[in-house]
Amino acid sequence: MENIRRVAATVLRAPFTRRTRREVCYCAAGAVTGLVGFVLVMVILVPALFISASVLGTVAGLLMVVAVLALARRLGALHRLLLRRGTGERITAPAPFEPGAGVLGRLDRRLRDRDAWRAVGHALLKLPVAILEGWAVAAVGFGLVDITYPLDWVLFRNHPAGTRLSPMIAAAPVPRGHLAIGTLPGTLLAVAIGVACVLAGVWLARGIVAVDKRLARALLGPSRVSELERTRAIAVEDAVVALRRVERDLHDGAQVRLAAVAMNIGMAQEKAGDAELRELLDAAQSGVGEALADLRRIARGIHPPVLDNGLADALDSLAASSPIPATVRADVARRPSPAIETIAYFCVAELLANAIKHSSANLIEIDIDTERPDVLRLRVSDDGRGGADPSRGTGLDGLRQRVSTVDGALHVSSPPGGPTRVTVELPARMTGRGT
C-alpha cells in the first residue's frame, strides 16, 4: 500500500520537476535537429549513391559523400551540444578531422574518417528517436491545452441558455484522439484526458531521452579504435620525448660534470710532483675518460643529438661513419614529427649495419623522400650479394615490428646475388595530438 502511494506520488509529481521541464524542452530541440539532420543527410546521401553507380557520376558522388561526412561531423557536434545543455550529458568529442596533404590525401582521409561515418549512422538512427521525442512534446502540449477547458468554458462560454455553440474539441496525439465537448461537466473529461496526455508525454520524454543519450554515447563519442590510435600516437611521442630528455640529462648533466672532473684531475696532474701520486692521478684520469666514452655511446644509442638538425644531417653523419662507402640523398619537403624522425633514423642505422655486416657491398645508397606528402619513404640499397630474408628471424623482422607500431610498412627485395633493396614507409606524422 505504502509502495503504491509512493509510486503514484512520483508519477503524479513528475510533471512539476525541473528535470522534466528540461527533458521536454530537450525533446523539442532534439526532435527538430534530429529530423532536419536526417533529411539533410538523406537528401545528399541517396542521390550520391545513385549517381556513383554510373562511371561519370563517381567523382560527383564521392564529393557528395565527402560533403555528407563533413556535415555529419557538424551535426554530431550540434547533438553533443544540445545534450550537454539540455540534459547535462557530457560526451567527449572524437579527435578533430585531420586533412591529409594533396587532393587524394584529403579524399582518402575523409573516406576513412571512422568518426564521421559513425556520425552518419547516428543521423540516420536518430530518426525514430526524433519522432518519439516530437510525439512526447506534442502529448504534453495537447494535454496542457485540454486541462484549461473548464476555465475556457467559464470565461468564454457563459452565453444565455439555448444559444447553440459548436462543441470544444479535446484532442490527444493518438489516432481518433479527439472528443467533442458541449457541456461544462464535459470539460472535466477533457481535463482527465489532458492529465493523462501530460503524464504520458512526460514519462515518454524521460524514456526517449535515455535512449537518445545511449545512442549519442555509442556513436558520437570517440570510437574505441580511433581512441586507441590516438593514445598510441601519444604514447609513442611521449616515449621519444622522454628518451630525448634522458639523452640531454646525460650529455648536459653527468657528462659535463665528468668533463669538469677530468679537467681538475688534469690540473692536478700538472702540479703533482710525487711519482706515486701521478700514477694514481693517471689511473683516475683514464677511468674518467672511459666513463665519458661509455656515456657518449649510451646517449648516442638513445637519441643522436644531430637528429635535432633534421634527418638529412643525421643520416649524413651516419653514412660518414660507414666503413663501406655510403651516399645519402634526402628530399624531405617538410619535417616529419620527432617520433617519426627517430624511428626513421634507427631504421636506417639498423639497415646500414645489416648491409655492412652481411652484404659485402661496394656501395650503399640511402634515399629518403616525401614524394607522397603523408608518407616518409626511406630506402637502403646495396650492390652486395643479396639473399636477405626477413622471415628467417634476422634483424629485418624486428625492424618490421618496430615500423608497424606507427602503421608503417617494410618491403624487402633481395634476390640471391643481389642487389638488396629495403624500403620502409612511415606516416610523416602521427595522428595524435593534432600535430
Q: Is 306 in the site for another protein (CB under 8 A)?
A: yes
> What is the total residue count of the chain?
435
Q: Which of 96, 102, 289, 415 binds another protein (CB under 8 A)?
A: 289
What 3-state DSSP class applies to 174? coil
Nearest partner of 226 among 130, 119, 90, 72, judged by Cα: 119
Q: Which of 252, 279, 294, 389 binds another protein (CB under 8 A)?
A: 252
DSSP classification of residue 339: H
How far is the C-alpha of 308 from the C-alpha of 306, rounded, in Å?
5
Residue closer to another protein, measured from CB, 111 or 242 = 242
Query: In which residue are the cell numbers 608497424 written?
Result: 404
Q: Which of 182, 266, 301, 398 binds another protein (CB under 8 A)?
A: 266
Q: Is 246 in the site for another protein (CB under 8 A)?
A: no
Q: How far is the CB of 360 from another protein (least distance, A)?
A: 12
Contact track, another protein, 42-81, x by CB under 8 A: ----------------------------------------
Q: Is 296 in the site for another protein (CB under 8 A)?
A: yes
Q: By the 8 A CB rule, do 30 and 135 touch?
A: no
Q: Which of 105, 128, 305, 387 binds another protein (CB under 8 A)?
A: 305
Stretch that binds another protein, among 29-37, 186-194, 301-309, 401-409 (CB under 8 A): 301-309
Contacts with another protein by CB under 8 A: the residue count is 38
Q: Is 264 in the site for another protein (CB under 8 A)?
A: yes
Q: By the 8 A CB rule, do 414 and 388 touch?
A: yes
Q: CA-based angle 238:240:242, to the nearest 5?
A: 65
How far is the C-alpha of 359 from the C-alpha of 382, rounded, in Å?
7
Name the helix (H) or strand (E) containing 400: helix 395-404
Contact track, another protein, 319-348, x by CB under 8 A: -xx-xxx-----------------------
Q: Is 288 in the site for another protein (CB under 8 A)?
A: yes
Q: Is 279 in the site for another protein (CB under 8 A)?
A: no
Q: Which of 119, 139, 265, 347 binds another protein (CB under 8 A)?
A: 265
Residue 1 grid cell? 500500500
Q: By the 8 A CB rule, do 408 and 343 touch?
A: yes
Q: 167-226: which residues touch another protein (CB under 8 A)? A: none
DSSP-assigned states of every residue in 6-55: HHHHHHHHGGGSHHHHHHHHHHHHHHHHHHHHHHHHHHHHHHHHHHHTST
Query: Which residues sit at the interface with another protein, rule CB under 8 A?
Result: 248, 251-252, 255-257, 259-260, 262-267, 269-270, 285, 288-289, 292-293, 296, 299-300, 304-306, 308-309, 313-314, 316-317, 320-321, 323-325
